[in-house]
Amino acid sequence: MPGFIGEEFIKRTCYEYLEESDQLKGIPQPPLELQGDPSRERIYLPPPGDLNIGEIDLRRAIEGRISLRSFRDIPISLEDLSLLLWFTQGVREKYPEATLRNVPSAGARHPLETYLVINSTEGLAPGLYRFLAIEHELEILDLSSRIKNDIYIACLKQAFVRKCAVNFIWVAHIYRSAWRYDERAYRYVFLDAGHTCQNLYLASSLVGCGTCAVAAFHDQSVCDLLGIDGRSLFPVYMASVGKK
Ligand SMILES: Cc1cc2nc3c(=O)[nH]c(=O)nc-3n(C[C@H](O)[C@H](O)[C@H](O)COP(=O)(O)O)c2cc1C
């Protein structure tokens, strides 16, 4: 397919095309997560270490994994949500230069930020939130009643997006990775998101939930909803979760 933009992307993100990275130029790295806004209200999530969860055989979890698009009309608990956030982006160790989390990330750059559209979670008003992974807290961004419908429309009116308990939206803060990897970072953020979503699939089964990955969305509509610019921060992947 000559002239296909994907071919150009693969070619121009090969090592021989990369520029000297900002890291090699000695430029200080950006913060390890997008800073929270101190004027916004925070929700303290139950610490994952304190939560009593069942056990599930790894083989059963992997072989039983499906994309679930039909959920029970009941909320998930804050404990369930806390665990799902912990398994997908939870920070196990924090160093001045990097975090180590429950998912792998190229060079431990961890460029993903997790936004949540909460439809039905005990103790949380429906609306838009952001997960502060280092603090294991949520920041409230927007509690307008339109959010639920806006994300459904942004996701090409896929019915389960409106019916689920919560939508996870993974956004790439590209410079966190590009600081080290230059343009090759645009490959890595999608790979990182794949690992993250797979953990969500597997972790959902631990808390009686199901998940469906979502990549069919209007990028600009999602950016408008989240209030991000689509360049320095852009949506990479989503997933809807609800009770089985
Ligand atoms: C990258 C990716 C994007 C996807 N996007 C959507 C989507 O937008 N809507 C949807 O209903 N399913 C989506 N899915 C789920 C797939 O349709 C599903 O994995 C596939 O049909 C196989 O079914 P299974 O997951 O139950 O094995 C996506 C899956 C992946 C891996």
Task: Pick the residue whose CA is nearest to atom 21 on ligand 1.
Answer: 67
- Total H helices, total E strands in the chain: 8, 9
Task: Report yes or no: 71 and 210 within 8 Å, Cβ to Cβ.
Answer: yes
User: What pLDDT does residue 1 have?
Assistant: 59
Helices (H), the chain: 5-12, 58-63, 78-89, 147-154, 159-163, 174-181, 185-206, 219-226
- Measured in angstroms, how far is the CA atom of residue 213 from the centroid of ligand 1? 5
Q: Assess whether pLDDT exceeds 90 at residue 53.
A: no
Provide, rounded to the nearest whole percent, the portion of the chain with pLDDT above 70. 99
The CA 67 to ligand 1 mean position distance, Å, reads 6
Q: Which fold has domain 5-33+42-243?
A: NADH Oxidase (3.40.109)
What pTM does this model have? 0.97
The answer to whether 237 and 213 are in contact (CB under 8 A) is: yes
Domain ranges of the chain: 5-33+42-243
Quick: pLDDT tens for 110-167. Answer: 999 999 999 999 999 999 999 999 999 999 999 999 999 999 999 999 999 999 999 9
pLDDT at 3 over 80: no
Which helix or strand (DSSP H or E) is residue 142 part of? strand 137-142
pLDDT at 73: 96
The CB of 62 under 6 Å from ligand 1? The reply is no
Closest CA to 151 of 241, 89, 223, 82: 223
45 Cβ closer than 6 Å to some ligand 1 atom: no
Does the CB atom of residue 216 touch ligand 1 within 6 A? Answer: yes
Helix (H, G, I), strand (E, B) or coil at 190: helix
pLDDT digits (tens, 9 = 90+) for 170-212: 999 999 999 999 999 999 999 999 999 999 999 999 999 999 9
